[in-house]
Amino acid sequence: MRPADEVPLDDVQRDKLALMGHMASSIAHELSNPLATIVASAQAILSLWPAPMGRRDASFAPPELSPQGVPIRQLREDLELILAEARRAGDIVHGLLASARNHPPETRLCWAADVVRRAVALSRHHCKLHNITLQAPFFDPEEGYPLWTRFRGDANQLQQVLLNLIMNAQQAITTCRGFGTIRLTLAPDGPDRIVIGVEDDGPGVPEELREAIFRPYFTTKPTGEGTGLGLSISQGLVRAQGGDITVAARTEGGAVFRIVLPSLAAQERQVPVTDGAPPAAVAALPAAAPAGQDLGAGRRVLLVDDEPGIRRSVSRFLQRQGFQVAEVACAQAALDVLRGETFDAIVSDLRMPGLSGEEFFAILSRELPGMARRVIFTSGDLLRGETQAFLQQSGCPSLEKPYELAELVQLLETLTAPAPARRASA
């Protein structure tokens, strides 16, 4: 006979969870486009300042005050705040998409520091609403992540595990006294292991239940408030990546969950690493071109996106960097243009009305195979299984909206590097 506290997840609940996941995915996808416009517009404006995106341009000295008497420095700070908050919203959107996806674990180069950063961005507001302070180590993607946080696994599934642990801790604290602290930690355990900790000052987990809580359908929550699947699934996801998850009591009271993962150093002894790059890749980007240097060198770029705001902001930025940019709002219009003109690169959205990015690429590969090798795809949802399969098969580089304009420039430079030589020899 099943114990009373082991509550099965019935078909109705499964259907509701599936529907909620689909809705979250749809909402997150729709939000990615306006966020991409905000991020691109803010970066485009900041690129005009004396020190945009790491650049020092002594030849341009803006006035100290705006026509309304506001210090220019404050305007730049306001823009930087807009950009930072839009990036944070982007992290939340990506987190929603990752949580809504239910796909088998993938094996790629990941950074535990980035996983922690995204999980914190997605959870912070929820914890704040429940009078809970969420503490975590600060990692700035623009400064680069510590090398010891690298591992091979599925970052999206690890993020789901962290979100589940944070939500469990929040519920335990709220039930106990209504306020408290959750602390995330990240540290190496020798050269071969990475340890992520989720600590809380709630009631803790009794010793006699520390193994049982990982069993399917076991829950200590009242009927209707828990499925008993969260920790069981979390343990399965972590073990599928070669790690483990355990729980212990904190000396000060409360619980501490520890996720232990094999580091890249340990995994390299068995599986050679041939792919992957730091998430967000911003840390490895070069600074913008110095004043007077024609970064784009007149190279022609065709920008394909059904969002007018994205086209305008990205186009203006690239033009200021020395690129020649043509804009179209759909894949069919892009094909019409490409049949009569030549471009050094194509930057195309994947999800557009009419022809999709995949259909656009298929036609391009048949009619203009040379141009098909010069495509950069963008999308607000790169986590979809079919999208990942397409990108892997096509070999095209991709950017997830909202993306960094400096990263786009870097991809364009890489993709079009031989172009000047071809023109010079013509």
Torsion angle of C-alpha atoms 124, 161, 173, 122, degrees rounded to 10: 10
Q: For residue 260, is pLDDT > 90?
A: yes
CB distance 241 to 153 below 8 Å: yes
Q: For residue 119, is pLDDT > 50?
A: yes
Task: Confirm whether 89 is domain-assigned.
Answer: no
Q: For residue 176, is pLDDT > 70?
A: yes
Task: Confirm whether 192 is domain-assigned.
Answer: yes
| CATH value at residue 245 | 3.30.565.10
Domain boundary among 258, 280, 302: 280
Task: Confirm whether 18 is domain-assigned.
Answer: no
Nearest-angstrom CA–CA distance, 29 and 38: 15
Average pLDDT, the chain: 78
Residues 287 and 406 in one domain: yes
Nearest-angstrom CA–CA distance, 302 and 325: 6
Nearest-angstrom CA–CA distance, 154 and 241: 7
Nearest-angstrom CA–CA distance, 196 and 261: 8
Residues 270 and 318 in one domain: no
Percentage with pLDDT > 90 across the chain: 31
Residues 178 and 327 in one domain: no
Task: Confirm whether 14 is domain-assigned.
Answer: no
Residues 304 and 276 in one domain: no
Q: Which residues contact 121 (CB under 8 A, 6 or more apart)?
A: 88, 91, 92, 95
Residues 211 and 342 in one domain: no
Looking at per-residue pLDDT, the higher value among 26 and 372 belongs to 372
Residues 112 and 246 in one domain: yes
Residues 225 and 322 in one domain: no
Residues 315 and 208 in one domain: no
Mean pLDDT, range 223-231, rounded to an integer: 50
Phi-psi region at 341: left, alpha or beta (left = phi > 0; alpha = psi -120 to 50): beta
Residues 175 and 301 in one domain: no
How many C-beta atoms surround the C-beta of residue 217 within 10 A? 16
Nearest-angstrom CA–CA distance, 41 and 48: 12
- pTM, whole model, 2 decimals? 0.57
Task: Confirm whether 123 is domain-assigned.
Answer: yes
- Pairing relation of β-strands 244-249 and 255-262? antiparallel
Mean pLDDT, range 389-394, rounded to an integer: 90
Residues 249 and 302 in one domain: no
| Confidence category of residue 26, pLDDT binned at 50, 70, 90 | confident
In 3D space, the residue among 180, 235, 168, 233 whose CA is nearest the CA of residue 205 turns out to be: 168
In 3D space, the residue among 180, 158, 157 whose CA is nearest the CA of residue 149 turns out to be: 158
Residue entry with tokens 């979250």: 24
Percentage with pLDDT > 70 across the chain: 72
| CATH value at residue 336 | 3.40.50.2300
Domain boundary among 236, 251, 280: 280
Task: Confirm whether 240 is domain-assigned.
Answer: yes
In 3D space, the residue among 423, 340, 413 whose CA is nearest the CA of residue 376 turns out to be: 413
CB distance 374 to 286 below 8 Å: no
In 3D space, the residue among 381, 392, 379, 374 whose CA is nearest the CA of residue 350 turns out to be: 379
| Confidence category of residue 20, pLDDT binned at 50, 70, 90 | low
Tally of structural domains, the chain:
2
Residues 117 and 150 in one domain: yes
State the pLDDT at residue 382: 77
Residues 110 and 247 in one domain: yes
In 3D space, the residue among 344, 339, 324, 333 whose CA is nearest the CA of residue 304 turns out to be: 333
Q: What is the pLDDT of residues 51-85, one digit of tens each?
A: 434 444 444 455 665 666 667 777 777 888 788 77
Q: For residue 158, is pLDDT > 80?
A: yes
Q: What is the pLDDT of residues 310-353, one digit of tens each?
A: 999 999 999 988 899 999 999 999 999 999 999 999 999 998 88
How many C-beta atoms surround the C-beta of residue 369 within 10 A? 9
Range of the domain at 146: 103-280
| Confidence category of residue 5, pLDDT binned at 50, 70, 90 | very low
Looking at per-residue pLDDT, the higher value among 273 and 403 belongs to 403
Task: Confirm whether 353 is domain-assigned.
Answer: yes
Domain boundary among 280, 298, 330: 280
Nearest-angstrom CA–CA distance, 296 and 288: 11
Q: What's the start-to-end Cα distance of the chain, in Å?
A: 82
State the pLDDT at residue 296: 65
CB distance 261 to 196 below 8 Å: yes
Task: Confirm whether 11 is domain-assigned.
Answer: no
Q: What is the pLDDT of residues 186-216, one digit of tens each?
A: 999 988 999 999 999 888 877 777 676 776 6
State the pLDDT at residue 181: 94
| Confidence category of residue 2, pLDDT binned at 50, 70, 90 | very low
